[in-house]
């Protein structure tokens, strides 16, 4: 059968996480810091809303764009928290996770060979999604020295005349990188100059611990050329519900809707009902989770530094991204060695692109008890590596 698989699918690289996952999932008693989703269960009132919707017989298709009630609440939420106003009737589409929204946007915008800029290290699906849309994936480097923020100089260096789209993920998975207003303004100016469309994946934007989050869509003149992408997976601990959304220019939403209606039809109605409940009554619960992530971040980063790893302080999201170069081994050897010796799973930084070389991603979306134990083991592991190097 292999010979029948489409060339562009065959040439997609294997996920750097996949083989690691195979090994970890066969091991017992592993403490996993390799999980990119909240450890909290979805708050009960949200789950209850889904059960109630099921009881009421909400088992049908919704509008292709999603229920108007949810789109209305999304517009209120986005206006209140991100200072951008969208029309629920024409500017919003509900998707199956941010994942689908990214795919739709790329397919709606890209002609074969168009360039798509994205910053690395980044979420594992960016480059493959661009390839599946027949675009050219063009990485931009970000660096630990400035907290993996995005600099316009680096964008300009990577830019080529075929570039049409700039994908941004701030705050960033896996680095926790964010961008201050000044940097965002410079990027906005560059986007206007080069006539770039911006896909802004702001899925971690509620989980900010230092500073405030600004959406690039809220900057003057940027709403028209920005597609604002967001969802419920992270802040509301609703990964399994699979609800995301995109807000932007009605022409682009219309184009995305065309693809969505033929490929997906609509997002599941029960999950849309649950998402509505999250927006109506979920803010307090979300803040409780955020505060706990905040304390866990402080704990993990401090302990990593005590263990001799250099680790920038991620301002947001739930990932620490320590540099392991000082241990004298590669990120892959570090991760596999740690798993074998101490049964702690972290993800090699290269799973998130070449500029993740020398780093590992450790998710702190796990309980204090597990984090404390994992940090003890990591410290023991790095000390063992250090004493091996000395002998």
Ligand X SMILES: Cc1ncc(COP(=O)(O)O)c(C=O)c1O
> Which residues form the interface with ligand X (CB under 6 A)?
36, 97-99, 123, 169, 173, 201, 203, 231, 233, 239, 244
**What's the min distance (Å) between Cβ of 347 and ligand X?**
12
The listed partner (other proteins, ligand X, none) that binds 277, CB under 5 to 8 Å by sort, is none
**What's the min distance (Å) between Cβ of 71 and ligand X?**
17
Query: Which residue's CB is nearer to ligand X, number 81 or number 330?
Result: 81
**What's the min distance (Å) between Cβ of 10 and ligand X?**
24
Is residue 216 exposed (0-12), middle (13-18) or buried (19+ Cβ within 10 Å)?
buried
**What's the min distance (Å) between Cβ of 30 and other proteins?**
6
- Ramachandran area for residue 321 (φ above 0: left; ψ -120 to 50: alpha; else beta): beta
Cis geometry, peptide bond prior to residue 108 (ω within 30 degrees of 0) = no
If one asks whether residue 303 binds other proteins (CB under 8 A), the answer comes out as yes
**What's the min distance (Å) between Cβ of 368 and other proteins?**
5
Tokens 């992270």 correspond to 234
The listed partner (ligand X, other proteins, none) that binds 233, CB under 5 to 8 Å by sort, is ligand X
Query: Which residue's CB is nearer to other proteins, number 42 or number 215?
Result: 42
User: What Å distances lie between residue 51 and 57, 272, 277, 384, CA to CA?
Assistant: 10, 12, 12, 51
Cα separation, 364 vs 16, whole angstroms = 20
Cα separation, 48 vs 110, whole angstroms = 40
If one asks whether residue 132 binds other proteins (CB under 8 A), the answer comes out as no
Judged by CB under 8 A, the residue of 369, 387, 390, 391 near other proteins is 369
Question: Do 310 and 322 touch, CB atoms closer than 8 A?
Answer: yes
Cα separation, 36 vs 18, whole angstroms = 13
Residue ranges in 83-203 assigned as alpha helix (H): 97-109, 126-132, 152-158, 181-193
Span 328-367, contacts to other proteins by CB under 8 A: 345, 347, 351
Residues engaged in binding other proteins (CB under 8 A): 15, 17, 20-21, 24-25, 30, 32, 34-37, 39, 123-125, 173, 240, 292, 295-296, 298-299, 302-303, 345, 347, 351, 368-369, 372, 375
């Amino acid at each position: 059968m292999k010979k029948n698989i489409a060339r562009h699918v065959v040439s997609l690289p294997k996920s750097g996480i996949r083989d690691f996952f195979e090994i970890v999932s066969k091991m017992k008693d592993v403490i996993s810091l390799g999980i990119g989703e909240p450890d909290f269960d979805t708050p009960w009132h949200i789950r209850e809303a889904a059960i109630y919707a099921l009881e009421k017989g909400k088992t049908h298709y919704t509008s292709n764009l999603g229920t108007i009630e949810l789109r209305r609440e999304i517009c209120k939420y986005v206006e209140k928290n991100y200072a951008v106003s969208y029309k629920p009737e024409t500017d919003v589409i509900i998707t199956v996770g941010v994942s689908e929204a990214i795919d739709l946007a790329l397919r709606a915008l890209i002609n074969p060979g168009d360039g798509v800029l994205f910053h690395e290290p980044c979420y594992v699906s960016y480059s493959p999604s661009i390839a599946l849309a027949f675009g050219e994936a063009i990485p931009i480097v970000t660096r630990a020295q400035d907290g993996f923020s995005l600099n316009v100089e680096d964008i300009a260096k990577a830019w080529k005349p075929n570039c049409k789209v700039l994908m941004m993920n701030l705050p960033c998975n896996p680095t926790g990188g964010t961008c201050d207003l000044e940097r965002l303004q410079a990027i906005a100016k560059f986007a206007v100059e080069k006539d770039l469309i911006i896909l802004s994946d702001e899925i971690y934007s509620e989980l900010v611990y230092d500073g405030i989050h600004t959406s690039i869509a809220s900057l003057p003149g940027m709403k028209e050329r920005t597609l604002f992408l967001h969802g419920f997976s992270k802040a509301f601990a609703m990964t399994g519900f699979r609800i995301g959304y995109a807000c932007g220019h009605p022409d682009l939403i219309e184009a995305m809707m065309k693809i969505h209606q033929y490929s997906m039809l609509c997002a599941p109605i029960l999950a849309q009902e649950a998402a509505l409940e999250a927006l109506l009554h979920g803010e307090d619960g979300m803040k409780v989770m955020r505060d706990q992530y905040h304390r866990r971040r402080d704990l993990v980063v401090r302990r990593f530094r005590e263990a001799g790893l250099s680790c920038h302080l991620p301002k947001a999201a739930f990932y620490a991204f320590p540099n392991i170069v000082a241990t004298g081994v590669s990120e892959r050897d570090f991760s596999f060695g740690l798993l074998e010796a101490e049964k702690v799973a972290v993800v090699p930084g290269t799973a998130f692109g070449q500029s993740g070389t020398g780093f590992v991603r450790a998710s702190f979306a796990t309980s204090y008890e597990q984090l404390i134990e994992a940090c003890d083991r990591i410290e023991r592991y790095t000390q063992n590596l250090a004493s091996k190097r000395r002998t």
